[in-house]
Structure 1
Amino acid sequence: MNIEEIKNVYGVNDEQARALDINKNIALHAGAGSGKTRVLTRRFLRLLIEGGADVDDIVAITFTKKAALEMKERVIDLVNKFIEQEKDRKKRDALRKIKEELPLANISTFHSFCDTLVKENYYIVGIEPMYKIVEEVDTLTLLNRIADEVLDEFVNNSEYRDKFETVAEVLGVEYLSKKKIIEDVKHLYKEIKTKGDSIEEAKRFTENNIKRFNELTPKEEKKRGRKSNNTDEGDLEKLQIIINLVMDLVDSVDKKYSEEKKKLGVLDFNDLEKYTLQILEVEEVRNRIKERYKYYLVDEFQDTNDVQLKILSYLTEEENKIKDGKLFVVGDIKQSIYLFRGANYKVFEDVTDKIKNSGGEKLNLSTNYRSHDKIVDIINNMFENLMDAYEPSKVSNGVKGEAGFDFCILETEEKTNFDTKQLKERRVELDELKVFLEKEDKDEKRRNEAEYVADKILELKEKGIEYKDIAILFRGRSGVLEFENSLKKRQIPYTILGGIGYFERQEIRDLINIVRFIYRYEDKLSLLGILRSPFVGLSDNEVLDVYNIINENKYISSAQNYNDKVKRLFELKEEAPLYSVSSFLKKLDKELKIKDILLLQEDGVQKYRNFEKFLEIAEEFDRKGIYSSIEFVDYLENLIEISQKEGQAFLDTENSNAVKIMTIHASKGLEFEAVFIPSLDYEIAKSNKKKFVYDKFGNENARYGIVINHDAIKKDGLYKYVEEKRKEEEKKEEIRIFYVGVTRAIRYLSLSAVRKKRESTLINYLVDCGINFERYVEETSTFKDYKKEKEENNYEEDIFDIDRALENINININYIPKSIFSISRYMLYKDCPRKYFFRYIAKIDEGLLDIDFLNKKEDEEEQNEAEIVKNINAAEIGSFVHSILEDVSKGYKVDIEDRINRELYEISNEQKEKIKTMVQNYEKIEKSIKINGEKLFSHQEFNFRVPLPNTDIILMGIIDRLDIYQIGDTKKAVVIDYKTNKVNSEEDKERLKNHYLPQFIAYRFAVEKIYDIEIEKMYLYLLDTGEYIEMDIKNEEIQKGIKDIVEVFNFMETNKELNHYDRCENCYLCNYKFICE
């Protein structure tokens, strides 16, 4: 492999070029900002251009749907650059073909890939082919129902009576309340499944685990830190009985959950992995799949789990060896941050060893091109103290100017702001009334921290750093409100990405209280919360009166006659079962005037939108059709639990110059000039408060399954051993999350916290590890005089910047597209649905079915070969003419005769003259069209990708030419498309106008969506005659056309069988005619 040539062709450095060796298996360990995405996309394209691979041969696995979409877009962008630079017509046509096929490339998440394999081989695992995939929130909500039913069955089964009595004796009668034991069973089930263990494996680990631990040799005791205490054998026997009972409950939940999923026709993500493994265990099927997919590229491998590694091994290995060039994995163990989802960074080490043992290589990308050298040095210095075997990043000297680092710790004492004396006089328990007595401004120091961050942002703005280049990153999804308030006070624009902080907003908490009260049997706290909310509006004293009534009578219904408002609430509670959840919320809105009240408040419009979002959640719940309305509370609480852990952020692209607020998890893969990471005083490696834990760390020989949290076993050492393993892994995870956060910064990094008494906070841990923050501030002291220079070639004042506008596509922050379709596919479908099927679903190359070839007579075989090569088809002529016009429109002088001889070789004189005439006709049309304005910019082959309304589909296409004009005080666009079709009459012109109308509808929709600019004119250039057609499209035609495009794409997405695609009548010249008939 010629490294210099690779560097030149693909625009990479030495390290990156070595990773583009497509003949080797490679494990690429890529540090933050080192260009791993650049390598991944270029390796994908190199397989297509130089490796002889078809798009279908390659499987690229990404961690999220968002990353899959971005990778597909980046490969398409890269192909566009290659097309623009390529002078050889045949190579350019090959690149165009690759580009046309890329929207259907196998670039997806691991689960989406598994879904493909399971859908194709459903019969092997005995499931229905039309299954639906449930989200994590559905899994958790269904588990609530299942666990409840299983517990009832066990309690009513006489075989388990003695065992439940043992539970009551050892853990207390209160533990047997449904909520406590169900929560533990659910938690254990999730832990087992997240780890990728089967229930059988969990049983094996759990069996006699106390006894096995006690039988360890003294050497092993010392190694595992066991204390030498003698524990009563009878106590241990009782504990083992309880553990076995809980394991039986988990086993029954698993069986019943599987039955429920089968009944509902759904699978969860764990099922997809499980069934994929089962399918790949069938040798014949495995070999067929291995023949179909020849290359695997896997991104973010540090976040892969054990089951996914097994799947990948099945697909890439032969006799424990990986075929050369078949596997490319890239990741960074330092950025493994999905432990809670079962990610195991150690599998990256395992696959790296496998690749090396198969003759492949481990390579490193160690240069950080993202961050300023001083920021890189600071990060290296920090994490050399925090991570074992930390490999420092190299500096690139790529970011000019100065860099800054700031650090602020505010000391505080934890205290309460409640008037406990008054509460005690009313015999009110403090914890029960926290729902309405909490004060948002309780933590003054947190408010001071938020003020500090806001002031620093204003300083950065003075230095020339735009708001849009600043991010505030939070570890969790709560604690945002104080920072929002500080930004508002200083009129700093901001945008919240990925839904962070949504469920902690007061109006949403009030709505959650409403549904808890409505759908739960006895929920005193929720009722009190509603009564104090603006939707009911009782005073604190009135709420205390209601509380005392309930407390004295033991039931919340005893307060229903307190006043008319409270009475009506209870009446609504009785009516709720008659409605779907979303319908009932709309009824509540009318009764309680929810929207009206929210609109009258400060930030009323935003609060109104938040209510609309809440309604959307309820509508989605109803639409799923697998729940009763009373399960909405469980659904909502599970949604909140999930939202606390993760979220994907699409950067807002409304061209808003606003500070970005998001979680560290959501920021992965992004970068910002300035990064603030506040609230670093969160607790790490928290102590477990559950009665049971699942031992999921370490190798199989040192795992103990389900372990009980009880004093007797704590003395015995097993629980301590399991807990210390968990805490150590979670602490390492927190450090990796912190690493991801700080490595988002390009030029400026600020860390802050409110120091608390608790010892186990991240900030205390960092200080204890010897991190010298003051030193970093000192080393970047020159930043105080830094002023960012205006970037050169800033077109914003004078012309419309095309490339910048491309970034302004208005994609909603919660919008995660799953499909990309081109307008050319829509046009083909409208011409003939059956033809679309053959080309894009069956993937039959119509070149192999050329009618002219099939109709040749035997005597044509004797025809002079030179005569045959002189004719090229209309598509080739069209492509060649387009390439010439691209140069002509840029003002280049083109020697057509020379260009034909170089790129088309020998063609007939008739075709040569036809090409020259088309170019002359183009010039004739250009002279005949006059636009009353100044042309600012002309973009050839304008590629667009825009989201279609109310869908998760991206529309893509290419406009031959897009001109931007200054007309009066406004900028306007002119859209031009070249057509080489034969035109013989006015009827032909009218036919072409109608035929291409949907294409121009898509063009107008895209340009207006991207630019927010008015279309001045749209033209169809008829190069055959030297005429043009003005495409005047009305607004109602746009709406109707886009609606039809959406319907067709949705149809394509869900229908993959031949009988779904009708034949048209225009079969005469179709190459698929013979197989279609």
Structure 2
Amino acid sequence: MNMPDTDFQEALALDAANRQRALDVASFIVEAPAGAGKTELLTQRFLKLLQTVQAPEEIIAITVTNKAASEMRARILDSLKLAAEGIPPEAPHKKITFDLGQQALQRSAELQWHLLESPARLRIYTIDSLCANLARQMPLLSRFGTQPAVTEDAWSYYREAASLAIQAMDEDTLGEPVRRVLRYMDNDQARLEGLLMSMLAKREQWLHLSQSHGQDQAQAALVYLIESELQTALSVLPARLQNSLVPIARYAASQLPPDHVLSTLLDWQMPLTATLEDLPGWRALVELLLTSSGGLRKRLDKNMGLPATDDAKPYKEALTDILNDLAQQSDSERVLARIRLLPNADSEDDGIIHALSQLLNIAAAQLWLCFQAQNEVDFVEIAQRALKALQEGDEATELAMRLDYRIQHLLVDEFQDTSPMQIELLKALTRGWQPGDGRTLFAVGDPMQSIYRFRKANVGLFLNAASHGIGDIALAPLKLWRNNRSCPAVVDWINQTFAGMLPPHDAPQQGAIAYRPFVATRAESDGAGVFVHPLIAPVNNEDEEPADLRHLEAEQIIRIIQQTRAEKPHATIAVLVRARKHLHALVTEMRRNHRELSFQAVEIEELANRQIVQDLLTLTHALHQRADRVHWLALLRAPWCGLTLADMHALIGQDSPRSVLSLLADEAVLARLSQDGQARARHVYDVMQSALHWRGRTSISRWVHNTWLRLGGAACLWNENDVQDVQSFLGRIAALEQHGQFSPQALAEDVQKLYAAPDAKADASLQFMTIHKSKGLEFDTVILPGLDSSNPPDDAKLVIWEEVSMEDRNTELVAAPFVPTPLKRQQATITAYDYLNDLDKTRAAYEDARVLYVAATRAERQLHLLGAAKSDKNGEPQARKSSFLHLLWPAIHQWFTSKHDIVSRYPTARQEADISQFVPKLIRLREASTPAMLQVTQPEMQITYPAAAEDESTHRLEADIGTLTHLYLQLIAEQGLAAWQAHEENAFLSLSPAMQRWFKQQGYTDSEANQGASQVATLLTTTLQSTDGRWVLQPHKQAASELAIEQLSERKKVIDRTFIADGVRWIVDYKSMPVSAKDDLPTLAAAFKPQLAAYAQLFQDEGLPIKTAILFLSTGQIVPVEIL
């Protein structure tokens, strides 16, 4: 779609005018295509609005991710800092931002805001953090007594709540809906529990509706949906065409048996209308026009009432002309085929719907009780409680009325990914706003980038907001045209390709977004363009994802990377995929044969596939089940032991019925092993035998961690990524323990959901990620492999809920229950569930095209497309349906038919590996032994190696020693060093009785309390006698001890000591572990780098340099830890 110069100039003029208008103090909704610079526009508007308010807190900006919120805050602050320097930039759009920044600073000076010194006054939230903030302000209305922690993984709660809901079947009244649903589900409790879990994860989509489900309103909503579909069909078959079809249809019906579907049209006289009464006629008409596969008919014969006779000839000719007319309409087949999916409006499912609604409400109530028990919730609960904090029924709450005076302007980013609940939140925040009162709502987004349907993002809400506004606020629509990111060659290809891929018209209910073209504003670059790298598989290849094919593709990707690096050494390159599994072959090839190409994989590599995690899982299973032969043998092959296969055979070859542990205890058996094997086996036996005595006497996470350390696990770590993997693994054990849901099986399932952290030291200019993760990013070169792959279908839903915006702008609900397979076989008609499910599939298909659009628009200079077509029986390449390649096929199929352009044809014969000759490589420590620093005897499990997930259980003396020491250090810092003259240990020994009482209150014996008090006194004395200790505790600027900070996505973080010294923000963490000057303190301190980095992140918006350190209390030494 090469745009003529006149259109090009007109688009640029419209773009400039709309950007200027977007700075007016009025309410707007802005369509900003990829690369349009919407963050710059949001920054400019924020700066402009600062000139109109009495306090910066009156402006609230809302975005989707923490990263986006940080970027917006950084943009605004950088603009203010640049304006303060007074040197205007040369770029015109930057000059606008510069001027607005200077005016904002002038306003700040007039009202003494001190924005540069107090950046926290800029209210920029994610939608989740905004909800948490609202819920926190009204704990009673939001039903939170105290602010709970927020978990990102609530599946354990969903499972528990679903199970409890099903268990209610044994109760009299409450159990009736449960029993009815179970009968409907053929008593498949496991299937019902899984469906309930998936519904609880999405309860914001249905909970408010399930509690107000009414049969009359539901039927009216279903009728409205059906008639909306017929109205669309009427645009394809208007009265004019129908009048031509009447005689043809009546003739055809007269030639067929009375029970034929066309018999409905035997007495047809008037054109069909978009009403429910005419639905049978529409169904019959579609059968006349379409084949069973949904295409327009090309063959007309006696089976359709048009035999090869003279009297039928004129009807055949007339119908052929009509079919040719319909073929000229690009969307006619799809629109007409949808009529086959329309159900009857009379519902027989209301009884089961009512039972399902009751069951879902029971499950939701159980979930709330589970949350309360642990004082932890998910993001959905936070959002729901935020809404309750703003409104009770149709009335505004005290908080809403208070905010009504505070909030003057709302800015919403990424509005195309808005969900119904977020719309309700915006309505609640803007309730009572009046036209002309100076308050504004500004929403910006790109409907073509709406790709979060799985989060209930509804792109139709963007279209509805543009047409009808939000609540009582009308939004003036604006459109931007510029693409400042991609070269003209890339932009032209995108415009040409996606104009035909996306639907021709918007259809909000179906999630259809027509293509919006844009114009390139940057100069052309050498080598810019879109490149196709085709592969062709033969017809006899039946595999879904053949390994050889993926290997060939991986090799081609590596060649592209190498060529790009040769041409532009500093170019940023991204490999983007639809699903993580599509990168497995490439990652394997890179790690095996191309280690010189370092890369960052963002949430790509599954944690469970990391060797260190597999070894930890093996250890965890072995600790919990002595008779688990498989895991005990795997324990002996792990790097900390590394028995050879010969030694393994000698160990178990003759005594297979016995447990591995009993064999290791048998000296006669061990004698059969080599000398090296005996030493390694004895080492494992000694450590495991000791560890098994500690079962139940400490936390599981600490138990596993200590055992792993004693086995020598820390010596098996290769890099910092391994350290992070260990910490993630132990953290998951601790989380399952806390919820009382730990088991080795549950842990294995839990770890499957986690991903290894990207290598922080790898080259950031080469990144692998999913397309969804790439949203908002840009790269010089983008590579899209696996275009022939397809995603699995969505899981079945227990109930499908559809919110329908009626003509009166009220929202009604259509609900349809899942139809079990045995029951479905008895039903021949289309159900409401079938229709709503197909509607969801239609939305998914439209979204697939938008996902591909997002991927393509990440490219600045080059876009590389890789995919494999399969040869059909005639040897012609064909794209797999439901794949990106199929969507792209009209634009790129010629690359697959031009033989000289084929990169490589898929080999027709594979060489089968002889697995009988395969011997796995044995990776093991040179010697198997417990590290010297851990060789202590009293108590056996006391360690000095820093724990990745340290257990602060009050039943562990060493943990409580640290706790009490922290409390005294906080007291010393707050009261001042002068009040604590601790030059001799006796100064603290005088407090020994109070310390002993504290330990006894924790449940310790007299001797344990004496021991604990003595160690606390020693630690405090050492700290206050040291230069480093006294410096840390001095009354520095903005000093704080035991500073507790809550983050939405994590548990509360408590920072031991923080302050500002010489313009640097210091963050110090105390460690009470026993160490000496002989120990390698920098190495010990470095193990806590992730923890300190997380603390430092909390202060990143402060704008000061940050230093982090560990203060070892047993030596009084501070050890800096570099976190960058």
Q: TM-score, structure 2 length as denominator?
A: 0.57
- Deviation of 1:770 after TM superposition, in Å, equals 5.0
The one-letter amino acid paired with 2:157 is L
Aligned with 1:111 (options 107, 128, 149): 128
2:363 maps to which residue? Answer: 253
Aligned with 1:666 (options 773, 778, 789): 773
Mark the CA change 1:210 to 1:36 in structure 2 (over 3 Å): closer, same or farther.
closer
Mark the CA change 1:521 to 1:201 in structure 2 (over 3 Å): closer, same or farther.
farther
Mark the CA change 1:509 to 1:766 in structure 2 (over 3 Å): closer, same or farther.
farther
1:695 maps to which residue? Answer: 801
1:450 maps to which residue? Answer: 554
What's the C-alpha RMSD, in Å, of the aligned pairs? 5.8
2:821 maps to which residue? Answer: 710
User: Given the alignment of the two structures, is residue 276 of structure 1 paired with residue 386 of structure 2, yes or no?
Assistant: yes
- Measured against aligned partners, the alpha-carbon deviations of 1:640-670 in whole angstroms (never above 9, x if no partner) come to 5486xxx9x9x99869464112222221111
Mark the CA change 1:155 to 1:198 in structure 2 (over 3 Å): closer, same or farther.
same
Give the secondary-structure state (helix, strand or coil) at the position aligned to 2:115: helix
Checking the alignment, whether the CA contact within 8 Å between 1:677 and 1:750 is kept in structure 2 is yes
1:339 maps to which residue? Answer: 453
User: Given the alignment of the two structures, is residue 372 of structure 1 paired with residue 487 of structure 2, yes or no?
Assistant: yes
The one-letter amino acid paired with 1:402 is G
Whole-Å separation in 1 of the counterparts to 2:70 and 2:222 = 51
Matches within 5 A, 1:421-432: none
2:501 maps to which residue? Answer: 386
Checking the alignment, whether the CA contact within 8 Å between 2:573 and 2:766 is kept in structure 1 is yes
Aligned with 1:136 (options 119, 140, 152): 152
Whole-Å separation in 1 of the counterparts to 2:383 and 2:729 = 28
Aligned with 1:406 (options 516, 531, 534): 531
Checking the alignment, whether the CA contact within 8 Å between 1:581 and 1:632 is kept in structure 2 is no
2:886 maps to which residue? Answer: 765
Mark the CA change 1:637 to 1:611 in structure 2 (over 3 Å): closer, same or farther.
farther
- Measured against aligned partners, the alpha-carbon deviations of 1:845-904 in whole angstroms (never above 9, x if no partner) come to xxxxxxxxxxxxxxxxxxxxxxxxxxxxxxxxxxxxxxxxxxxxxxxxxxxxxxxxxxxx
- Deviation of 1:394 after TM superposition, in Å, equals 1.0
Matches within 5 A, 1:152-551: 152-154=167-169, 167=182, 175-176=188-189, 178=190, 180-194=191-205, 197-201=208-212, 217=276, 219-220=278-279, 225=339, 246-281=356-391, 282-283=395-396, 284-318=398-432, 323-324=437-438, 326-355=440-469, 360-388=475-503, 389-412=514-537, 443-466=547-570, 469-488=572-591, 489-503=593-607, 505-507=609-611, 510=614, 514=618, 517=621, 534=638
Whole-Å separation in 2 of the counterparts to 1:207 and 1:591 = 64
- Deviation of 1:404 after TM superposition, in Å, equals 2.9
User: Given the alignment of the two structures, is residue 18 of structure 1 paired with residue 131 of structure 2, yes or no?
Assistant: no
Mark the CA change 1:257 to 1:675 in structure 2 (over 3 Å): closer, same or farther.
same
Aligned with 1:683 (options 786, 790, 794): 790
Whole-Å separation in 1 of the counterparts to 2:141 and 2:863 = 54
- Deviation of 1:456 after TM superposition, in Å, equals 0.9
Whole-Å separation in 1 of the counterparts to 2:54 and 2:898 = 52
Whole-Å separation in 2 of the counterparts to 1:627 and 1:658 = 41
Whole-Å separation in 1 of the counterparts to 2:647 and 2:185 = 39
Matches within 5 A, 1:612-691: 612-619=724-731, 622=734, 626-628=738-740, 630=742, 634=746, 637=749, 640-641=752-753, 656=763, 658-684=765-791, 686-688=792-794, 690=796
1:98 maps to which residue? Answer: 115
2:39 maps to which residue? Answer: 37
Mark the CA change 1:952 to 1:33 in structure 2 (over 3 Å): closer, same or farther.
farther
- Which segment is superposed worse, 708-717 or 379-388? 708-717
- Measured against aligned partners, the alpha-carbon deviations of 1:648-698 in whole angstroms (never above 9, x if no partner) come to x9x9986946411222222111111101111223324x4455473523465
The one-letter amino acid paired with 1:722 is L
Checking the alignment, whether the CA contact within 8 Å between 1:25 and 1:328 is kept in structure 2 is yes
Give the secondary-structure state (helix, strand or coil) at the position aligned to 2:36: coil
Greater share of helix residues, 1 or 2? 1
Whole-Å separation in 2 of the counterparts to 1:541 and 1:724 = 59
Checking the alignment, whether the CA contact within 8 Å between 2:64 and 2:414 is kept in structure 1 is yes
Checking the alignment, whether the CA contact within 8 Å between 1:16 and 1:39 is kept in structure 2 is no
- Measured against aligned partners, the alpha-carbon deviations of 1:259-295 in whole angstroms (never above 9, x if no partner) come to 2223333343222322222232243442321111111
Whole-Å separation in 1 of the counterparts to 2:1091 and 2:547 = 51
1:741 maps to which residue? Answer: 855
The one-letter amino acid paired with 2:587 is E
Checking the alignment, whether the CA contact within 8 Å between 1:56 and 1:105 is kept in structure 2 is yes
Structure 1 portions without partners, runs of 5+: 1-10, 419-437, 782-831, 835-948, 954-995, 1006-1037, 1055-1077
- Which segment is superposed worse, 25-34 or 492-501? 492-501
Checking the alignment, whether the CA contact within 8 Å between 1:408 and 1:751 is kept in structure 2 is yes
1:423 maps to which residue? Answer: none
The one-letter amino acid paired with 1:68 is A
Whole-Å separation in 1 of the counterparts to 2:1087 and 2:548 = 52
Whole-Å separation in 1 of the counterparts to 2:436 and 2:692 = 62
The one-letter amino acid paired with 1:371 is S
Matches within 5 A, 1:886-965: none
Give the secondary-structure state (helix, strand or coil) at the position aligned to 1:466: coil
Checking the alignment, whether the CA contact within 8 Å between 1:185 and 1:246 is kept in structure 2 is no
Whole-Å separation in 2 of the counterparts to 1:497 and 1:950 = 33
Checking the alignment, whether the CA contact within 8 Å between 1:370 and 1:746 is kept in structure 2 is yes
Structure 2 portions without partners, runs of 5+: 1-12, 88-101, 228-274, 284-337, 504-513, 666-680, 806-810, 871-877, 903-972, 976-1042, 1048-1058, 1069-1085, 1103-1124
- Measured against aligned partners, the alpha-carbon deviations of 1:976-1023 in whole angstroms (never above 9, x if no partner) come to xxxxxxxxxxxxxxxxxxxx9813445999xxxxxxxxxxxxxxxxxx
The one-letter amino acid paired with 2:788 is D
Checking the alignment, whether the CA contact within 8 Å between 2:418 and 2:457 is kept in structure 1 is yes
Q: How many residues align?
A: 758
- Deviation of 1:479 after TM superposition, in Å, equals 3.8
1:847 maps to which residue? Answer: none
- Deviation of 1:751 after TM superposition, in Å, equals 1.5
- Deviation of 1:451 after TM superposition, in Å, equals 0.6
Whole-Å separation in 1 of the counterparts to 2:133 and 2:625 = 43
Mark the CA change 1:573 to 1:366 in structure 2 (over 3 Å): closer, same or farther.
farther
Checking the alignment, whether the CA contact within 8 Å between 1:192 and 1:199 is kept in structure 2 is no
- Which segment is superposed worse, 667-676 or 755-764? 755-764
- Measured against aligned partners, the alpha-carbon deviations of 1:211-230 in whole angstroms (never above 9, x if no partner) come to 99999955457586467999
1:999 maps to which residue? Answer: 1062
2:247 maps to which residue? Answer: none
- Deviation of 1:739 after TM superposition, in Å, equals 1.3
Mark the CA change 1:393 to 1:693 in structure 2 (over 3 Å): closer, same or farther.
same
Give the secondary-structure state (helix, strand or coil) at the position aligned to 1:704: strand
Give the secondary-structure state (helix, strand or coil) at the position aligned to 1:108: strand
- Measured against aligned partners, the alpha-carbon deviations of 1:486-506 in whole angstroms (never above 9, x if no partner) come to 334234433324332133534
- Which segment is superposed worse, 443-452 or 337-346? 337-346
Whole-Å separation in 2 of the counterparts to 1:616 and 1:63 = 25
Whole-Å separation in 2 of the counterparts to 1:46 and 1:403 = 37
- Deviation of 1:1044 after TM superposition, in Å, equals 13
Mark the CA change 1:777 to 1:193 in structure 2 (over 3 Å): closer, same or farther.
farther
The one-letter amino acid paired with 2:778 is E
The one-letter amino acid paired with 2:69 is A
Checking the alignment, whether the CA contact within 8 Å between 2:416 and 2:447 is kept in structure 1 is yes
- Deviation of 1:470 after TM superposition, in Å, equals 0.9
